[in-house]
Amino acid sequence: MRRVFITETPDVGAVPGRRLAVKDLFDTAGVRTTYGSAIFAEHVPTVTAAAVVAAQDAGYVSVGKANLHEFAWGITSDTPHFGAVPNPLAPDRIAGGSSGGCAAALAAGLADVALGTDSGGSIRIPSACCGTTGFKPTHGLVPLDGCWPLAPSWDHAGPMARDVAGCEALLAALVPGYRPVADVALADVRAAVAWTGHADPLVRARVEEVARLLGAQPLELPFPDDAYDLFAGEAAAVHRELFAAHADRYSENVAAKVRRALSVTPEAMAADAARRERYRERTAALLAPYDVLLTPTMAMVAPPAAAGEAPIRARALSLTYPFNATGAPALALPCGTAEHGLPASAQLVGAPGTDALVLAVGRTVEAALRTGR
Q: State the catalytic residue, choosing from 23, 65, 136, 257.
A: 23
Would residue 37 show up in a list of annotated catalytic residues for this protein?
Answer: no
What stretches of 281-329 adopt beta strand conformation (E)? 292-296
Q: Is the pTM of this model over 0.85?
A: yes
Question: pLDDT tens across 263-298, in order?
Answer: 999 999 999 999 999 999 999 999 999 999 999 999
Q: State the catalytic residue, choosing from 77, 98, 119, 345.
A: 98
Question: pLDDT tens across 186-196, in order?
Answer: 999 999 999 99
Would residue 98 show up in a list of annotated catalytic residues for this protein?
Answer: yes
Would residue 23 show up in a list of annotated catalytic residues for this protein?
Answer: yes
Residue 234's pLDDT is 98
CA atoms within 13 A on the CB side of 217: 11
Return the axis-axis angle of helices 228-246 and 252-261, rounded to nearest 10°.
Answer: 120
Q: Taking a C-beta distance cutoff of 8 angstroms, is the pair 321, 120 a contact?
A: yes
Question: pLDDT tens across 174-185, in order?
Answer: 999 999 999 899
Question: pLDDT tens across 22-53, in order?
Answer: 999 999 999 999 999 999 999 999 999 999 99
Q: State the catalytic residue, choosing from 62, 99, 119, 122.
A: 122
Residue 10's pLDDT is 85
What letter does residue 297 receive in the DSSP assignment?
A: S
